[in-house]
């Protein structure tokens, strides 16, 4: 139902010319064992540049319930202004819901709230990336107990359908987009997976 709903909302978004691209089709990717460990680690390096980027890490804050403001457009790194707390709900249901400001049309006005036609919320506690090392994030992403019980193809498919991911490459305002493209990031996940999901020592 939730998946259907977000698909429906995405369709609405596409009719309303919001700056959200269509879903990225996930290609088949190389077969397991056909990518060397070295190539897998190179793919991981590029993946790390994305997942540690402010456009991703600002929401992937781990056990904290405070979203972060970091990256060039924010000047200095600090917790979200206005004392915003996401609470256990991760959507601010206990205090001020994220959707109060983060719903609707993304704007190119500097410092306006980024908005997606879907529910804007903090990432799950287990997906803790803000300030974490390449090794820690890599181990989290390949651990089914910590990654929502997904294999690497399912992670790639999930990204292709996630409205927030599309936003990260078209963040609006004066924000720097995540490095590369969503399609290239998905390619890297498929190569990393086919190499056996190697992580830096
Ligand atoms: C607005 C906050 C927000 C931003 C920004 C964000 N995410 Fe997430 N992320 C989430 C939420 C919420 C979930 C859980 C949703 C789900 O599993 O359906 C999630 C889950 C994930 C997952 C699932 C695997 C796991 O370990 O739980 C991956 C992979 C992921 N995000 C990647 C990214 C990447 C890459 C970026 C930047 C390009 C990004 N996210 C930016 C909120 C965010
Ligand atoms: C009162 C309005 C308001 C509420 C409520 C609010 N935000 Fe924000 N948020 C903003 C504004 C405005 C910005 C952009 C500030 C800027 O660019 O200087 C922002 C930026 C962010 C960013 C940084 C995105 C990036 O990488 O550029 C994250 C993450 C974020 N909010 C998460 C949340 C979460 C999670 C909630 C709910 C728990 C929430 N916000 C509730 C107004 C709000």
pLDDT tens, 157-188? 999 889 999 999 999 999 999 999 999 999 99
> Is 19 within the bounds of a domain?
no
Question: From atom 2 of ligand 1, which residue's Cα is the shortest distance away?
Answer: 59
> Is 22 within the bounds of a domain?
no
> Is 16 within the bounds of a domain?
no
Distance of CA 15 from the midpoint of ligand 1 (Å): 24
> Is 3 within the bounds of a domain?
no
Structure tokens at 45: 């390096």
Looking at all shown ligands, the one closest to residue 82's CA atom is 2
> Is 68 within the bounds of a domain?
yes
Q: Where are the alpha helices (DSSP H) in the chain?
A: 2-15, 37-51, 54-57, 99-102, 134-142, 152-161, 163-169, 182-194
Looking at all shown ligands, the one closest to residue 68's CA atom is 2
What is the model's pLDDT at position 25?
A: 82
Asked if residue 165 has its Cβ within 6 Å of ligand 2, the reply is no
Residue span of the structural domain in which 151 resides: 29-194
| Count of domains for the chain | 1
Q: Residue 98: is it exposed, middle or buried by C-beta count within 10 angstroms (0-12/13-18/19+)?
A: buried
> Consecutive 10-residue runs of the chain (201 residues): their mean pLDDT?
43 42 81 96 98 98 98 97 97 96 92 91 96 98 96 93 93 96 97 98 89
């Amino acid at each position: 139902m939730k998946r259907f709903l977000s698909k429906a909302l995405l369709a609405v978004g596409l009719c309303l010319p919001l700056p959200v691209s269509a879903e990225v089709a996930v290609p088949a990717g190389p077969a397991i064992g056909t990518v060397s460990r070295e190539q897998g680690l190179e793919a991981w390096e590029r993946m790390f540049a994305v997942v540690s980027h402010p456009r991703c890490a600002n929401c992937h804050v781990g056990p904290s319930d405070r979203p972060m403001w970091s990256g060039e457009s924010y000047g200095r790194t600090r917790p979200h202004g206005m004392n915003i707390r996401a609470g256990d709900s991760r959507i601010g249901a206990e205090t001020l819901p994220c959707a109060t400001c983060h719903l609707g049309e993304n704007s190119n006005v500097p410092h306006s709230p980024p908005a997606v036609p879907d529910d804007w919320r903090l990432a799950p506690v287990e997906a803790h990336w803000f300030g974490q090392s390449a090794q820690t994030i890599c181990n989290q992403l390949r651990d089914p107990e910590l990654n929502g019980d997904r294999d690497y193809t399912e992670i790639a498919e999930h990204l292709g359908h996630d409205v927030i991911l599309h936003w990260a490459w078209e963040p609006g305002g004066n924000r720097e987009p995540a490095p590369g493209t969503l399609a290239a990031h998905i390619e890297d996940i498929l190569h990393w997976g086919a190499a056996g999901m190697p992580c830096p020592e």
